[in-house]
Structure 1
C-alpha cells in the first residue's frame, strides 16, 4: 500500500502542481473508490485525491465536478475541485484510471451521533435539497448508473443484474426476497412521490464532517441525482439514528432529532404522503445496487460483506415497522 501511496502522491504533485509530501488512504472496504488524504511538508491534510472506480464515466465525472462548484457557490460545505496544470478537470494514471483533486475539508467523521449533531446534519440535508433545479451547469446532467427506483420500475431486470454479478453469493441474495415482498406491499406511497430534488444519495455519518459542534463538510457526492427527497431523509434517519454499526434498531431521540432538523429547515414540511413512504424508502435504500456490486467485483473486493451488511438493517426494519411508523408519524407532526 505504501508504494501505491507514493505513486499517487507523485501523480498529484506532477498533475496538479501541489506541494504534497505524503498521503493516507481513507475509507474502508464498502466502496470501490479510492481516496487519499494528501499532506503537506508539515503533515497537515490539505487535499483529497479521489479515484472514482465505482462510476468513472467521463460525462458523470464532469457533471459531479460542476455540481461541486455549483453547490459550493450556494453556501453548502462541499469540497472545491482543482484543475490540473494544463487546465483539465482530472488526470489519468499509468493504468488509464482517472483521479480528481479536491480541497480537504476540516473536521472529523460523524462517528458518534448526538441529538444536537443529528439535528444539524438534517438541517444540512434540507439545505442540499433546496438547491435550485437548474444549477447553470456547463455540462449535461448525468445520473448514477443505477436509478433510485430501479427496484420499483424494473424489479426483474434489477434482480437479474444482481444475480449475474453476485455469482457464488446466491444464498445471500435470495435472503432479500422476503424484504422485496415487504417493500412491494408498502410501496404505493413511495411510488406516488413525484417531486424531485437534488439528492445526496449516501447521507450518513462517514460522509459528514463536524468540528466544534457544527457540521463542517458534506462529502462523497458520487450518488448525487434527481430523486424524491424522502429517499435521502429515510436513509439519513436509518444511518444517523441507528444504535450502532450492524445494529439498526433506531433510537427514538435521534430519529426525532433528524426529523426536527429537517422539518425546521426544509423549504416545506414533509407531507403526509411523504411521511407514509419513509419506512418503505428505508427498505429500498438497503437493497442491492447492481452497479455498486459490479464496481466492487471489478476492484477485486469480496461481495459477501456488501450483501450481508444490509440484511441486518432489513431484519431490524421488518421487526420494528409498526414502532418506527408510529415514531415517524409522531416526529413528523411535531
Structure 2
C-alpha cells in the first residue's frame, strides 16, 4: 500500500491477491492477514466469510467501533467495506497489534473483567435498532426446536454424546439465560473473549483483538463465555481451576455487581456457546473438511466435564456468598 497516505480495503485486498500478505493462523470461519501499511506500519486485514458478510454485520461492527474508539485496549477500524470476487465479502482493516497472545487467560482475569465493565459502560450512549442486538445465545432463545432439529443429522455415531448433552441440558441453559436477560439493558458484546484474543507485551498493557462477532446484547453473554474460557486449567481443557473461578467471580461482583447467586446462571448462559449449530459446523467443513470433526470433538470435551464443573461452580459461589 505504498504511495497512499490512507490504507483502504481495496489496496489491502490487492496485496492479498498478489500474495504479498501473510495469512495468520486461525480455525474460525473468517480469514486474517497481516500486510504492510503506508509509512512502515503494519495492518490486520480480516476477510469475513461470504455467508456472514452482510449489511447488518457491517453496521454492527461500525456501531461498536464508534462506541469503543479511545478505549486503551481497542484497535479501531481503519477502513471497512465489501470486496467482491465471486461473492461479496466484508473486509475490516485495523492496526496490527504486536505482542503475544495468552494461552492461559487465568493470568488476565482482572483485565478481562475490566474490559467487561467498560463494554457495559460504553453501551450507555449507543442507539441502535434491534437488528444489531444479538449474541450466541439468541438462536437458542428464539428458535431452540429449529436449531435442535437442524443439527440432529450431524450428531450420530461418535457424536451421540453431544445429542444427549443437548437433550439433557438445553432447557436449563435457556432458563438460566432468560433469567439474566434484561430487555431494558444493553451492553457491547465482543463475542469471543479468550486468551488468544488478549495480546500483551506490545505497546499497550493489553489489547483485545478479533472483533468479528462484535455487536450488542441484552445479556452478560461475554461474561458467561469468559467464565469458561478464562477459568479453565489450560487451552483445550475445560476443567475449571478453583482458584481462577473464585478470582473471576470476585472481580465480577466487585466491578459489574454480578451477585454470587447468579454464578450458575451465568455459566449456563455461557454454555450455550458450546452447543453445536448446524450452520456453524457446515461452514467450518466448507473451509476445511477437518474442521467440522475437530470442532465437534472440542465441544464434546466441554460437555464431558460439564456436570463436574457446575458442581464446583455451585460450591464456590455458595462459599463466596456465605
TM-score by length of 2: 0.80
Match of 2:109 in 1: 118
How far apart in 1 are the matches of 2:267 and 2:64? 29
1:219-238 alignment, distance < 5 Å: 219-238=209-228
Matched, 1:174 2:142: no
Greater Cα shift, 121-130 or 178-187: 178-187
Deviations 1:238-271 (A, max 9, x none): 11111123321111222223223333332xx113
User: CA separation in 2, counterparts of 1:27 and 1:94?
Assistant: 23
Counterparts of 2:232 and 2:69, CA distance in 1: 29
Q: 1:156 to 1:187 in 2, by over 3 A?
A: closer
Counterpart Cα distance in 1 of 2:157 and 2:141: 22
Q: How far has the Cα of 1:95 moved from its partner?
A: 3.0
The structure with the largest helix share of the pair is 2
After TM superposition, the structure 1 = structure 2 runs for residues 199-238 of structure 1, keeping only pairs within 5 Å, are 199-211=189-201, 215-238=205-228
Aligned residues of 1:59 and 1:140 also touching (Cα < 8 A): no
On the 8 A contact 1:78/1:217 being kept in 2, the answer is: yes
Gaps of 5+ in 2: 1-6
Partner of 2:145: 156
Question: CA 1:187/1:59 → structure 2, altered by over 3 Å: closer, same or farther?
Answer: closer
State the Cα distance separating 1:320 from its structure 2 match: 3.0
Cα separation, 2, equivalents of 1:94 and 1:225: 27
Cα distance change on mapping 1:76 and 1:58 into 2, 3 Å: farther
Partner of residue 4, structure 2: none
Aligned pair count reads 308
Segments ≥4 residues shifted beyond 6 Å: 14-17
Q: CA offset at residue 61 of structure 1?
A: 1.8
1:310 to partner: Cα distance = 0.9
Cα-to-partner distance string for 1:95-150 (whole Å, 9 max, x where unaligned):
344222112234321213344x221122212211222244256x885356x75143
| Corresponding residue number in structure 1 for 2:26 | 28
Question: 2:106, 2:232 within 8 Å by CA — same for their partners in 1?
Answer: no
Gaps of 5+ in 1: 1-8, 84-88
Question: What corresponds to 2:100 in structure 1?
Answer: 108
When normalised by structure 1's length, the TM-score is 0.78
Contact 2:120–2:188 (CA under 8 A) maintained in structure 1: yes
Change (3 A) 1:329 1:205: farther
Matched residue, 1:274 = 262
The DSSP-based 3-state class of the residue aligned with 2:56 is: helix
Match of 1:327 among 316, 319, 322: 316
